[in-house]
Amino acid sequence: MLTEKTKKKIIRLSKVNNYIIHKIETNQNFKYQSKCGDQILFQIIEENNGKFNLKHYASGCMILLASANALNKLCNNKPKPKIINLVQKVINGDFENLEEIDSSLKIFNTFTNTNRKDCFLLPYKSLKDSLENYKPLRSTIK
């Protein structure tokens, strides 16, 4: 059972909209859907410094929305290897407690061994797959 404090944190985190997708010509979008109908769309933009600007649009349960926002906050403006490493740790369960990876993930410990695990992990699996399939756009010479 979730404590009231945890419920409030998840609700607050699920309402963050700093990472909403904007219409940009030089981007690549990757869309994923779970069995239950939750959906997430990632927009990946590689900056000149090798870091990735991540945006997403998610539709689904509060756990998915909160997880997507927390993931985006953790991974935005980081290089690809660092993002993949963090995401892989979470997917593989390479931790005793999610707090080991980042303290902001502590509220999700409740879901790592429940039927809501898929809701929590969908953004991580989707981002990993998106980055693995990402192809840098070629600039055209005029």
pTM to 2 decimal places = 0.77
pLDDT given for residue 139 in this prediction = 52
Segment (H or E) for 67: helix 62-75
Residue type, 114: T
pLDDT given for residue 121 in this prediction = 92
Residue 22: other Cβ atoms inside 10 A: 8
Residues across the chain: 142
pLDDT given for residue 79 in this prediction = 94
Q: How far apart are CA 94 and CA 34, in angstroms?
A: 23
CATH of 4-133, one of 3.90.1010.10, 3.40.630.30, 3.90.650.10, 1.10.10.10: 3.90.1010.10
- How confident is the prediction along the chain (142 residues), in pLDDT tens digits per residue? 678 887 777 777 776 665 555 554 445 566 777 778 888 888 888 888 889 988 888 888 999 999 999 999 899 999 999 999 999 988 888 777 777 778 778 888 888 788 888 899 999 999 999 898 887 765 545 4
pLDDT given for residue 6 in this prediction = 79
Query: Residue 79, class by beta-carbon neighbours within 10 Å (0-12 exposed, 13-18 middle, 19+ buried)?
Result: middle
Segment (H or E) for 31: strand 28-33
| Contact assessment for residue 88 and residue 128, using Cβ atoms and an 8 Å cutoff | yes
pLDDT given for residue 29 in this prediction = 62
pLDDT given for residue 25 in this prediction = 47
